[in-house]
Structure 1
Amino acid sequence: MIISQPRRTIAICTAIYFLDGLIHTILGPLAPEIARSLLLGNAELGPIFSANLIGQCIGLVVFPAIAGRLGHRLTVTIAVVGFGLGQCASALADSGAMLFALRLITGVFLGGCLPSCLAMVTEEAPADRRGISILTLFTGYGLGAAVAGAVAAGFADLGGWRIAMVTVGVLSLALSGGVWLWLRDRADLEGAAPEPAAGASTVLQLMGRRYLVGTLMLWLLFMLMLTISYCLTSWLPTMLVEAGHDQSFAALSITIFGFGGAIAALGIGLLIDRFGAMAVLLVFLLVAAALLFATGQAMDHASRGELTVLLGAAGFCSLGAYGGVNVVLAGFYPDALRATGVGWAKSVGRLGTVVAPIAIGLALSAGVAGQTVMSLFGFPALLAALALAVISITNAWKTREGVGSSPADPTSFWTNRRGT
């Protein structure tokens, strides 16, 4: 059977997002072992959790310009090789400072390929399936996050955290061959000239009259969603251990949380294609806020079964919503601005999130209970719902002006894909 080019693109880019979820999240369940191995405290772990985010901020801004000159295919291939080597090298770290530096380098290359992946899938997906195609990427991210806990638990008896790091790096390097063989630039498919590199004028267009409010709200929205998804998966195992749960359940908590998100990613894509993003994402965010607060309140006394249900449901709503806001982002900008808009939104979102893991580490070191920290994750979800409402109003105005997404677009906020 001949696999069509759009399906090959979606498959490869989903695999890259899988590795994104795995590489970022695996540090959380490995953190207690890394702390013992390198003699680190919670305050010292915080910057290491942030290192990957700092690197991704750099990659998300720098690599779209590189993609404009070299094309998405070569750019993504270079980035995948880069983060694979960085992940392997992380296993050699013998101090917190060295691990921080290697995680930062890994993050630069990892962040560098994400805008190109999202842009390629958005360009090649059929218009009436764009929502589900984009959300397929974030099913990959959710599965990667889910597998991280199981990988960490599985390697506990097979050489520990260093072997786990190397294994993930080797998987990344193996994927780079498939990236080069199966991805194609739009110019190759259509015989068109390569797209010009994103320069200062392109970036300034994001802040123009038509996009200013929406751009700022998208940056805020990503900052809030990444605070939930990245910080929670980083610190959840440590908070559970300090609340009295054993190491094995703490590691598997990431799998439970991520698996809920992976299930949601495809489900929310179908809902968005049918009903539009606005109502679907608002419901997911409001329910996520309640579930995150409830999980924090129950953390120190709930049974494993109760926490499993709460964490799975919280992952379903919060990670599902994170995948959904990427549909909003992809549909907000026209083709010429999409890669740059995606890169800047994700970069600024990560830049704002850099402080959160450090702050959580300092709070836990100062004696703040993990239950309190966990409960506070509900507030970013509420603020994200407010930011989304502002974006929806901006998008409705922009659609009337005749730019960006249209009422028939599956990324439209107020209508379903049939325009009804």
Structure 2
Amino acid sequence: MNARPTERAALVTLVCFAVSMIDGFDTLMLSFVAPLISHALQIDHASLGRVFGAGFIGTVIGSIAAGPAADRFGRKPTLVVALAITGLLTLACVLASSAPQLALLRFIGGLGMGGAIPPVAAITAECASPRQRSSLVILMFIGFPLGAVVGGAISAALMTRFGWQIVFAMGGSFALAMLIPVVWLIPAREVPFASRAQGHAKLGAILAAGRAAPAFALWCGVLASMIVSGFLVSFIPTILNINGVPPARAALGAVVLNVGAIVGALALSWVVRRREPFRPVAASFVGGALLTGALGLLIGVGDTLFGMLFLVGAFLVGGQLTFPAIASRLFPAAVRASGVGWTMAIGRLGSIIGPMIGGLMLAHQVALDRLFVFAGLLALLAASGVALASVWGRGAQMASDREPGAAAPLVAADGKH
């Protein structure tokens, strides 16, 4: 086999991985500096919450809008625009002097942050062979939580010395600097004009050819899993603290979850090199559901709890990092970026709903064992959604059996491709 296409795919995946890391850092950077900003700009908790919400709403709209744009105008131009918006608006946050200003800047910047993932998922998928596609897209998206972990560590080291502005300055500069490798190294491969004309924007085109049922099943699974992970990442440190864990140690809970997610996603990327991604991911969510249900019984039980948090991160949060890969398998090239965009937008919506539901349940003092059992049931719903997407997708017009050079259906009768 000629090595050059493989090397090119690896290079493109590396560039997209770097974009994903920067997107993860820029999306979550406000969490790192929130206490400093609240003190420096005299922003109360309610106003700070609106700043968070504005950024998240921007990412949802950006995810939905960028997919059709990438399918119509091209993946590379859309990615360039998304990075430029992210970089410029993140840099502008350095000049913010009030909560409304910061909220507006985060909302517009969120359009770019949300708009980056659909084109990079499509670019990675289309530069890979059908056999490597799922694993490479998973590896690409691991950059998102890794960017949050690395960015959080760098922010913690610098922000107390240089102020909260340094974090926004870094995030914006990294995004703008990423334009250079994107422009020079990512090929301008485009969907044929006829395909773009019929599938560039409308939801009906995304769901055509039998894709409606598997797409809705997948989106239900995405929403359920992101509600769970949004709750866990947001409230695990708080839950640990109110149950006797010191604040500094409780903060490690979210870090352990993310580290587990990276390890779990790496393991799944290895598994799906040999199988289709749907059933391994559904099995991972089932394991995550059982572990999440058991987690409520271990709060306050020392180091055993952190081991369980790692496993929950690996099975549950690691499983959800495969969603761009699954969406890239589900939707053909003509609407691939749009399909990924809708999938990620629904996921980001779940990450907003999860903390809201969790906060209400904690405010009503729901017992921890019941709260985590409820979270486990949502994880089972996520597993069911992915499994149904696999079953209902067998007869649909999927990416792998309608693109040039691919003959196998998305999920063959024996589950392999």
How far does residue 101 in structure 1 lie from its aligned partner after superposition? 2.5
Task: Report the more deviating stretch, 270-279 or 89-98.
Answer: 89-98
Work out the percentage of aligned pairs sharing the same amino acid.
27
- The aligned residue for residue 337 of structure 1 is 335
Conservation of the 8 A alpha-carbon contact between 1:242 and 1:370: no
Task: Report the more deviating stretch, 12-21 or 22-31.
Answer: 22-31
Q: Report matched runs for 1:368-383 at 5 Å.
A: 376-383=374-381
How far does residue 244 in structure 1 lie from its aligned partner after superposition? 4.4
Conservation of the 8 A alpha-carbon contact between 2:68 and 2:337: no
- The aligned residue for residue 71 of structure 1 is 74
- The aligned residue for residue 19 of structure 2 is 16
Conservation of the 8 A alpha-carbon contact between 1:22 and 1:141: yes
Hey, what's the Cα distance between the residues in 2 that align with 1:230 and 1:198?
Answer: 35
How far does residue 278 in structure 1 lie from its aligned partner after superposition? 3.4
How far does residue 31 in structure 1 lie from its aligned partner after superposition? 4.1
Match of 2:135 among 116, 132, 137: 132
- The aligned residue for residue 164 of structure 1 is 167
Q: Provide structure 1 residue ranges, at least 5 long, that are not aligned to the other structure.
A: none
Q: Output one character per residue of 1:14-50: Cα deviation in whole Å (capped at 9) or x when no partner.
A: 1111122223334445445555555566655544443
Q: Output one character per residue of 1:303-352: Cα deviation in whole Å (capped at 9) or x when no partner.
A: 2x333322222111122211223322111122212122112222233335
- The aligned residue for residue 115 of structure 1 is 118
- The aligned residue for residue 233 of structure 1 is 233
Match of 1:173 among 168, 173, 176: 176
Hey, what's the Cα distance between the residues in 2 that align with 1:352 and 1:342?
Answer: 15
How far does residue 268 in structure 1 lie from its aligned partner after superposition? 0.2
- The aligned residue for residue 106 of structure 2 is 103
Q: Report matched runs for 1:23-102 at 5 Å.
A: 23-37=26-40, 45-102=48-105
1:81 maps to a residue whose letter is: A
Hey, what's the Cα distance between the residues in 2 that align with 1:226 and 1:404?
Answer: 30
Q: Output one character per residue of 1:189-234: Cα deviation in whole Å (capped at 9) or x when no partner.
A: x9x6696357677421234461121121122122223223444334
2:122 maps to a residue whose letter is: A
Match of 2:156 among 153, 157, 161: 153
Task: Report the more deviating stretch, 321-330 or 177-186.
Answer: 321-330
Q: Report matched runs for 1:134-283 at 5 Å.
A: 134-155=137-158, 157-187=160-190, 196=196, 202-208=202-208, 210-283=210-283
Hey, what's the Cα distance between the residues in 2 that align with 1:45 and 1:161?
Answer: 14
Conservation of the 8 A alpha-carbon contact between 1:42 and 1:362: no
Hey, what's the Cα distance between the residues in 2 that align with 1:121 and 1:381?
Answer: 28
Taking only aligned residues, the RMSD between alpha carbons, in angstroms, comes to: 3.4
Give the TM-score taking structure 2 as reference length.
0.84
1:302 maps to a residue whose letter is: V
Hey, what's the Cα distance between the residues in 2 that align with 1:53 and 1:102?
Answer: 12
How far does residue 63 in structure 1 lie from its aligned partner after superposition? 2.0
How far does residue 364 in structure 1 lie from its aligned partner after superposition? 4.9
Q: How many residue pairs get matched?
A: 411
How far does residue 282 in structure 1 lie from its aligned partner after superposition? 2.1
Shift in alpha-carbon separation, 1:355–1:308, aligned structure 2, 3 A: closer
How far does residue 374 in structure 1 lie from its aligned partner after superposition? 5.9
- The aligned residue for residue 314 of structure 1 is 312
Q: Output one character per residue of 1:57-95: Cα deviation in whole Å (capped at 9) or x when no partner.
A: 211222233334542222211211211222233344444
How far does residue 125 in structure 1 lie from its aligned partner after superposition? 0.2
Task: Report the more deviating stretch, 197-206 or 310-319.
Answer: 197-206
How far does residue 415 in structure 1 lie from its aligned partner after superposition? 4.2
Hey, what's the Cα distance between the residues in 1 that align with 2:198 and 2:102?
Answer: 32
Hey, what's the Cα distance between the residues in 2 that align with 1:96 and 1:361?
Answer: 22
Shift in alpha-carbon separation, 1:210–1:384, aligned structure 2, 3 A: same
Conservation of the 8 A alpha-carbon contact between 1:51 and 1:101: yes
Q: Provide structure 2 residue ranges, at least 5 long, that are not aligned to the other structure.
A: none
Q: Output one character per residue of 1:85-128: Cα deviation in whole Å (capped at 9) or x when no partner.
A: 22233344444443333222222101112111111111110122
Hey, what's the Cα distance between the residues in 2 that align with 1:21 and 1:369?
Answer: 33
Hey, what's the Cα distance between the residues in 1 that align with 2:41 and 2:146?
Answer: 29
Shift in alpha-carbon separation, 1:102–1:227, aligned structure 2, 3 A: farther
Hey, what's the Cα distance between the residues in 2 that align with 1:137 and 1:91?
Answer: 29
Match of 2:388 among 383, 387, 390: 390
Hey, what's the Cα distance between the residues in 2 that align with 1:123 and 1:134?
Answer: 10
Hey, what's the Cα distance between the residues in 1 that align with 2:253 and 2:33?
Answer: 12
How far does residue 372 in structure 1 lie from its aligned partner after superposition? 6.7
Q: Output one character per residue of 1:122-147: Cα deviation in whole Å (capped at 9) or x when no partner.
A: 11101221121111112212312332
Shift in alpha-carbon separation, 1:177–1:372, aligned structure 2, 3 A: farther
SS at match of 1:186: coil
How far does residue 250 in structure 1 lie from its aligned partner after superposition? 4.2
How far does residue 285 in structure 1 lie from its aligned partner after superposition? 0.4
- The aligned residue for residue 323 of structure 2 is 325
Conservation of the 8 A alpha-carbon contact between 2:200 and 2:335: no
Shift in alpha-carbon separation, 1:278–1:200, aligned structure 2, 3 A: closer
Conservation of the 8 A alpha-carbon contact between 1:65 and 1:197: no
